[in-house]
Amino acid sequence: MSRKMTAENVSKCETTGANRHHGAIKSVTKQAGVTGIEFSLRSLAASIIEGSRSPAIVKKSIEFDTVHETVAFVRARHPWVPDPTDNEYMLSSDLMLERDGLDGDELCVLLGSLLVAEGFEVRISVRKYDGFGFVHPVLHWKDARGAWHLIDPCSSDYEKQNEHDRKMVAEMTVPVKR
């Protein structure tokens, strides 16, 4: 079975695409299908790069010696919360640092921004899982040996993350380019 995102396996999933709005907050428009998902991924990748250049993100990234410390900080300080409304707004990475809870897109942008600021190569993906009517954002980071590793910033433990990995039916990934 192909795990590539197609119109058939995405079906009627809705996702979001970001548009610049007042610098600190991005208003998001819902789009459906593969085109909307690809647009959203590219928008999230652009937000990660923008965030990685933020002085507050760069300053915070210096505090961590390992990827695991960075992930632990994000998971402890910024637990996952559901989207507050049907219409989504994306905060800037600077503002995300100050919030207690973030939704899945915001967690990916914050964690991705910190990792890119630390010098890691990052990719962002959305995944569709069997039995779920929506797509879910995750990150991949590349270690010094060139191996890619999955991070689901919404999951608090790796066992659950691996369990979800087995239920994945489709994935679309874009690189985060500096």
Report yes or no on 82 lying in a domain. Answer: yes
Report yes or no on 169 lying in a domain. Answer: yes
Question: How many domains does one find in the chain?
Answer: 1
Report yes or no on 57 lying in a domain. Answer: yes
Q: Decide if pLDDT at 36 tops 90.
A: no
pLDDT confidence of residue 49: 94
Report yes or no on 73 lying in a domain. Answer: yes
Percent of the chain with pLDDT over 90: 30
Choose among 82, 86, 109, 81: nearest CA to 25.
109
The model's pLDDT over 60-90, given as tens digits with 9 standing for 90+, comes to: 999 999 999 999 999 888 888 887 666 667 7
Q: Residue 79: which domain range?
A: 7-175
Q: What's the predicted TM-score (pTM) here?
A: 0.77
Report yes or no on 105 lying in a domain. Answer: yes
Report yes or no on 1 lying in a domain. Answer: no
Q: Which residue in this structure is represented by tokens 């250049």?
A: 53
How many angstroms separate the CA atoms of 140 and 123, rounded? 5
pLDDT confidence of residue 25: 42
Q: Decide if pLDDT at 23 tops 50.
A: no
What CATH number corresponds to the domain at position 136? 3.10.620.30
Phi, psi for 77 (deg, rounded to 5): -85, -25
The model's pLDDT over 136-152, given as tens digits with 9 standing for 90+, comes to: 788 999 999 999 888 88
Report yes or no on 107 lying in a domain. Answer: yes
77-86: b (≥16 Cβ within 10 Å) or e: ebebeeeeee
The model's pLDDT over 87-116, given as tens digits with 9 standing for 90+, comes to: 667 788 888 998 888 888 899 999 999 999
- Cα distances from 172 to residues 1, 4, 21, 169, in angstroms, run 15, 6, 26, 11
H-type alpha helices, the chain: 7-10, 33-52, 55-61, 67-77, 93-98, 104-117, 158-166
Length, in residues, of the chain: 178
Report yes or no on 2 lying in a domain. Answer: no
